[in-house]
Amino acid sequence: MSEETNIPEGVSQEQMDVWQKQYGPQGIIKISIDVAKEEDGTITDKAVGYIVRPSAKKGATLGIYSRILQLYNQGKILDCGVFVLNNCKLGGDERVFGSDEMVHIAAATVVMESITFLSGTSEII
């Protein structure tokens, strides 16, 4: 029986390998929130969580992006981030996913920096 190698964020390397195989290159988003800092700027507590990029979540991409766009167009950016965290969660520090409201709010804001939409144009010809 092999011993699991843990990475600092509480997720085993074996689990990370499974996720990377399942979701492909650039299919995982790592969210890091600095929870506490010393006066000199040294980070003393960090919350790290992992989500699957919505575009890598096969079979659910349309539904997830549809809801994100609805919220985004209403100006509800924080709600977008919370929706992504709730629907794309893989693992990591539970504070990222809601057990600590301030960390969860920060994570929801940060995750929206990773969500992109394709752009294009249309014309009547």
Q: Where residue 62 falls among pLDDT bands split at 50, 70, 90? A: confident
Residue 3: pLDDT over 50: no
Residue 87 domain-assigned?
A: yes
Alpha carbons 9 and 96: distance in angstroms, whole number: 11
Residue 118 domain-assigned?
A: no
Alpha carbons 72 and 18: distance in angstroms, whole number: 31
Q: Where residue 89 falls among pLDDT bands split at 50, 70, 90? A: very high
Are the C-beta atoms of residues 84 and 64 closer than 8 Å to each other?
yes
| Mean pLDDT, rounded, for 35-56 | 91
How confident is the model at residue 37, as a pLDDT? 86
Residue 39 domain-assigned?
A: yes
Of 2, 5, 105, nearest in space to 47 by CA: 105
Question: 3-state secondary structure string, 24-80?
Answer: CCCCEEEEEEEEEECCCCCEEEEEEEEEECHHHCCCCHHHHHHHHHHHHHCCCHHHH
Residue 72 domain-assigned?
A: yes
Name the residue range of residue 56's domain. 13-111
| Mean pLDDT, rounded, for 38-64 | 89
Alpha carbons 89 and 98: distance in angstroms, whole number: 11
Residue 8 domain-assigned?
A: no
Those residues with Cβ within 8 angstroms of residue 17's Cβ, 6 or more apart along the chain or in another chain: none
Residue 123 domain-assigned?
A: no
Total of domains in the chain: 1
| Mean pLDDT, rounded, for 3-8 | 49
